[in-house]
Structure 1
Amino acid sequence: LKEARFPEWMGTLPFPPDKKRPKVIRKEDVVNTVYGKGDKPVKVTIIADTNRLYFSDYSIKPGGWFEPPDIHAGDEVYYCLEGEATMFDPVNGDTFVLKEGDGFLIPKGTWHVGYNFGDRPFRLLTIIAPKAWSDLNVNFSGRQSFYKGEI
């Protein structure tokens, strides 16, 4: 693996911390990317990623999941816009099913994996605060594939 580094947009979308101001974030301003590995990648639209919060919209096709397991340096909240998502904590085995209109809190430092066992895509809004990533738990190795450590 190469030395850990962050993509340039991390922590600066739509502005660097010292240049923040109110802004309408349009579809041409967002970062569209893919999370994970395997044959069913997760589409992620990153709407804002500042030094204080991360906000995205992501979707997983039927039969898909995100891999590797995820963990963050801040609390994460999901809001299910459509479909049904099954969230799994690989450390303690807890499973949670989110349906359209449900919210879900994932405390800082909690490992999680999202699965789509349904027959239509699910789509979630994600907010992480005060920050999604820290130098201690992310290795960015070029493409949008994050490896956060051992479970």
Structure 2
Amino acid sequence: MGLEKLGTWPVDGAEARAKADLVKIDKSNRLNIVWGHDHPVLLEFAVSNDYMHVGELVIPVGGVGPRATEPESHKGDAVFYVLQGPATFYIAATDDTYHVRDGEAFFLPADVAYQCLNYGSTPVRMVFTIAPGL
């Protein structure tokens, strides 16, 4: 199970809406993906369909310099909520950085390229939601 499930996890969105299905995903039933060739991070998807992606992002520690995600942008708006941080968001187009602490949220409009960095000594953990279909 892996990348081929993105967009239809745990069920296809259109099918679930047609049946009015409610789906409960506990931590043991998430779709876990190690994402990134040069900067691997853990993505734990609770839901991934045509309307939304919801999950948890974990940026590890260790290595030379800070750990980071690959440069990324999304077709829909995204919100990140920091559970364990701090997390630093780097916006390439404007060369801006934003430091987001535990209990704070960060909003990214659609199509804004960014990287998320971990300058700390513990893993960064964030929950996220991305709305590509809205």
TM-score (norm 2): 0.85
**Of Structure 1 and Structure 2, which has the larger fraction of its residues in helix?**
2
The answer to whether 1:119 aligns with 2:93 is no
Task: Out of 16-25 and 113-122, give the one that drifted further.
Answer: 16-25
Deviation of 1:15 after TM superposition, in Å, equals 1.0
Give the fraction of aligned pairs with identical amino acids, expressed as a percent: 28
The residue correspondences of 1:42-121 to structure 2 (distance < 5 A) are 42-62=41-61, 63-67=66-70, 69-121=71-123
**What count of residue pairs does the alignment treat as equivalent?**
125
Deviation of 1:111 after TM superposition, in Å, equals 0.3
- What is the DSSP-based 3-state SS (H/G/I as helix, E as strand, rest coil) of the residue aligned with 2:82? strand
Question: Please, which runs of 5 or more residues in structure 2 have no aligned partner?
Answer: none
Find the aligned partners of 2:93 and 2:35 in 1 and give their Cα distance.
21
Find the aligned partners of 1:80 and 1:18 in 2 and give their Cα distance.
30
Native 8 Å contact 2:74 2:132 kept in 1 = no
| Amino acid across the alignment from 1:17 | G
Find the aligned partners of 2:14 and 2:37 in 1 and give their Cα distance.
34
Find the aligned partners of 1:34 and 1:114 in 2 and give their Cα distance.
15
Find the aligned partners of 1:130 and 1:109 in 2 and give their Cα distance.
10
The residue correspondences of 1:25-40 to structure 2 (distance < 5 A) are 25-38=25-38
Find the aligned partners of 1:53 and 1:91 in 2 and give their Cα distance.
25
Deviation of 1:17 after TM superposition, in Å, equals 2.5
| Amino acid across the alignment from 2:131 | A
| Amino acid across the alignment from 1:12 | T
Deviation of 1:19 after TM superposition, in Å, equals 2.5
TM-score (norm 1): 0.76
